[in-house]
Structure 1
Amino acid sequence: MAGSVFDSGLYGKLFGAGEAGRLFTDSAEVRAMLLVEGTLAKVQGRMGLIPEISAAAIHRATLEITLDPSGLATATAQNGVPVPGLVAAFRKEMQAPEHAQYLHWGATSQDIHDTGLMLRLRQLLVLLERDLRALLSDLAALAETHAELPMPGRTYGQHATAVSFGSVVAHWGWPLVELVAELEALRRSALWVSLSGAAGTGAAFGPQAGALRAALAEGLGLGDPGRSWHADRGPVLRIAGWLARVATALAKMGEDLVLLTQSGIGELRLGTSGGSSTMPQKQNPVAPSVLIALARQAVALNGALLSAGAPRQERDGGAWFTEWLSLPQLCLCAASAVETARGLRVEPVPGAMAEALELNGGVIHAEALSFRLAEHMGRPEAQAAVKEICKRVAKEGRPLAALAGETWPEVELGGVFDARQQLGEAPGEARGFARAVRAL
């Protein structure tokens, strides 16, 4: 098995991450760091920190020169970070030492590495927002179409009261609506430029340090934090936490789909499913299972990042390396989860839902019966009476509706045993979710 399923020729399509996969390659990382170096030189030239002619030459060269990431491997192993090797290789390829000497002026490796990372994370969030909005549009249509389709609601895996399929879909989608709504604030609080020099003081830039950082932020379209964040991994952790929550929200849908498509329930049908090598009758919920697995991995990776969230002193190699091991995988977990969810085709099976509502003599209507009886007796007495009659249903094998009619002939029981009349706010929740999606 490959070291990562996302890079695997065998498993890559099972855990497909779509366009996001291209953001987490060695080539993409090198390109992002070169973009930072070129923009840094450009703004330094404009501010008179380096010769403007050299700044223009460096900026142009970062757009034209390509570096082979494998050629930087030895230097990266030696230095523990790819930037020194990248700077040396770029200066050599530029073949203009009088200009190349001003490359990386006053910056430190972490400035270039972290800022390049933020450029890629920015693009990741763009892709995820686009795909989440498309997924939400599909879920909204499904919820609205089936807002009043009754099915059993379950708590602790047992029948509770009737819900609507549309409300179940809405419960899958609401967390995603809120996650998309958080993105604007997340971008402001996390997509930051880093430019603080060797130990985070910006001393090499002199009194222009703050202005230079702001200019670099503007040139790259990132936020200016107004401070050093070398040893504050809050921006990374905020993005990582958001990604883990995306994967977890989608896993809720996956968990429900595994249960509702299983043999003996079959209240939902998947448009695509997997087969068994030996059992031709099997229709395995492969995609929902992928969602569950991705979320478990995402939660574990987010935990690893949190464990590295208190770096020692001004820079901590162990903490930083933990980010490199964990964050790209977490990003791809979230991207793969969204990609997988978008590929799902879920269809309700109304007949199976109707049959399930009448299982065990229709005792799913017990709560509705107790509230109707509470109009004629005390609530505790009504609950106790319904408990006793439910025992008779189990013992005698007769429907709850028949026994209730015989026991309380004086009570009007119309609508109590009609699930469509016992949905409460479920249809409204489904339609409210659809409205919220359209308003995003």
Structure 2
Amino acid sequence: MVGVHDSRILGPLFGDPEIAALFDDAASVRAMARVEAALAIAEAELDLVPMHAADRIAAAVEDFSADLDALGTGSEQAGVPVIEFVRQFRAHVGGDAAQWVHWGATSQDIVDTALVLQLRGGLALIGDRLNAVIAGLARLADAHRGTVMAARTRYQQALPTSFGLKCAGWLLPLVRCRERLPDMRNRLLTVQFGGAAGTLAALDTRGVAVMEALAAELDLTCPPLPWHAQRDSVAEFGSWLSLVTGALGKLGQDAVLLAQTEVGEIDESAGGGRGGSSTMPQKANPVTGEALVAAARLNAGLLGTLHQAQIQEHERGGVGWQMEWATLPTMVVTAGAALAKTTALLDRLAVSAGRMRGNLGPENGLILAEAATFALAEHMPRPDAQALVKEAARAVIAGGGHLVEALQARSSAPVDWDRLRDPACYMGSNDALIDRALAAAGAIH
């Protein structure tokens, strides 16, 4: 194996066996056989195929085992596995019924519809995992609404915020991904049936009826017409997967930065045993956060390749189709793995409220500069307040001391200086914003 997802060494870091099993060779063969059986049943119900033949074809799915090496040879020769697959499946069906396998279909009908069935299984797992991450982040946001920490903009400390509000910021992109899911799912999980050139000519005037019956048999939606060369729904799904892993990558990047030794505000390896070094026993590397960033960047890169597959040749092409095979399953597995890793990270995450408070710089109070400006602006013109705070801040930076004391020495304004010293008193709409995020997630406080 050359892919990290299939590697027994690197697979646990990048892969997801449960989702990968939906796309392995055996699963692909089962999905194609299921489509052929559903097609035969649909056509039998319309009196296009003998019912006894459809019953035999459906029964043959249960104990069909393909020669995968021969399928591989067939793919290399024909650019698609279906020709050899149909040959093997007909031989397995046997008798008169064999001739009715693949009636009126083309290779792409079988491959695309089989893929849709596989994606349906993957979406079910990913949807469950997405819900679990959303629930975990909602709990953290609520639990840490009062855990004061430094907000950082462009890598520098800015103002006080709360860890709960940071978690709410991680939460909402995933909530929006969940909101996008039903409409996208409806567009994606649609049957593909168009025959050789999208006209269904082999079925005379019964093609649309077969397409509708096949969709019903497989519990898929039925499109207005075959989508052989219309790949926007596949590209949309890839974009959605990249949005999911991108949101998780942002969480992972923040987690890595917050876990830096000199920051130490969270620990993703609480309990020990993770992120060790081969030579430095003191280290606990943030391996899960790093894996989330890597997953986001991997899917973002693959998305560009997947979007190239929209460029199709006339009524049916081959290049873009093959590019989808090489990218989409990897993106699904990557997203599923990232969600599972995020749930594990949230479950073992240790939050150091003391370190967060300590990193606010209580010894100098400089993070309170904006708070001081607005407090003074109640008693003097704002430009004067800004100038006074800048002067005091420069004095603290140059000679030490605390910003509030430097301001008291420079102003007789009746400011509540004791309140100003407390970063928790300059949190603005922290609680209201967290409540809004929880409401959006369906987890109202």
- 1:56 is matched with which residue? 55
Q: Does 1:275 align with 2:276?
A: yes
| 2:6 matched residue in structure 1 | 7
CA deviation profile, 1:226-262 (whole Å, cap 9, x unmatched): 1121111011111111111111000001000110000
Tell me which residue corresponds to 1:235.
233
Q: Name 1:70's counterpart in structure 2.
A: 69
1:42 matched residue in structure 2: 41
Contact 1:190 1:234 (C-alpha < 8 Å) held by counterparts = no
Which of 204, 207, 215 does residue 206 from structure 1 map onto?
204
Question: Which residue in 1 is equivalent to 2:334?
Answer: 333
Contact 1:16 1:339 in 2 (8 A): no
Aligned residue type for 2:432: G
Q: Distance in 2 between matches of 1:417 and 1:200?
A: 72
2:260 pairs, out of 250, 262, 268, with 262
Aligned runs of 1:113-192 on 2, under 5 Å? 113-192=111-190
Quick one: structure 1 residues 18 and 172, their matched pair in 2 at CA, closer, same or farther if it must change by over 3 Å?
A: farther
Aligned to 1:375: 378
Distance in 1 separating the partners of 2:207 and 2:263: 64
Does structure 1 conserve the Cα–Cα contact (< 8 Å) formed by 2:149 and 2:161? yes
Match of 1:346 in 2: 349
Name the counterpart of 1:307. 308
Asked whether the 8 Å contact 1:260–1:268 carries over to 2, the reply is yes
2:424 is aligned with what amino acid? Answer: R
What's the CA shift for 1:360?
7.0
Once the two structures are overlaid, the 10-residue window that deviates more, 14-23 or 298-307, is 14-23
Query: Match of 1:376, as an amino acid?
Result: H
CA distance in 2, matches of 1:238, 1:25: 23
- The amino acid across from 1:285 in the alignment is P
Task: List alignment gaps of at least 5 residues for structure 2.
Answer: none
Distance 2:67 2:203 in 1: 31
Query: Aligned partners of 2:420 and 2:213: how far apart in 1?
Result: 68
Percent of residue pairs identical: 39
- 1:436 Cα shift? 3.3
Distance in 1, Cα, partners of 2:132 & 2:192: 33
Structure 1: runs of 5 or more not aligned: none
Name the aligned partner's letter for residue 22 of structure 2: L
Please name the residue that 1:435 is paired with.
Answer: 439
Offset at 1:359?
5.7
| Superposed displacement of residue 365, structure 1 | 0.8
> Normalising to structure 1: TM-score of the pair?
0.96
For residues 171 and 108 of structure 2, the distance between their equivalents in structure 1, rounded to whole angstroms, comes to: 38
Structure 2 partner of 1:399: 402
3-state SS, counterpart of residue 160 of structure 1: strand
For 1:318, the equivalent position in structure 2 comes to 319
Q: Return 196-205 or 430-439, whichever deviates more.
A: 430-439
1:101: how far off?
0.4
TM-score, normalisation: structure 2:
0.95
For the residue of structure 2 that corresponds to 1:193, the secondary structure is coil
Is the contact between residue 192 and residue 235 of structure 1 (CA under 8 Å) also seen in structure 2? no
Q: What is the SS of the residue equivalent to 1:357?
A: coil
Tell me by how many angstroms 1:204 deviates.
1.5
Aligned to 2:359: 356
CA contact (8 A) 2:376 2:413 kept: no
Q: CA deviation at 1:18?
A: 4.4
Counterpart CA distance in 2 for 1:29 and 1:362 is 62
Q: Match for residue 28 of structure 1?
A: 27
Runs of 4+ displaced beyond 6 Å: none
Following the alignment from structure 1 to structure 2, what is the Cα–Cα distance between the partners of residues 148 and 359? 17
SS of the aligned residue for 1:3 comes to coil
Q: How many residues align?
A: 438
Query: 1:136–1:176: 8 Å Cα contact kept in structure 2?
Result: yes
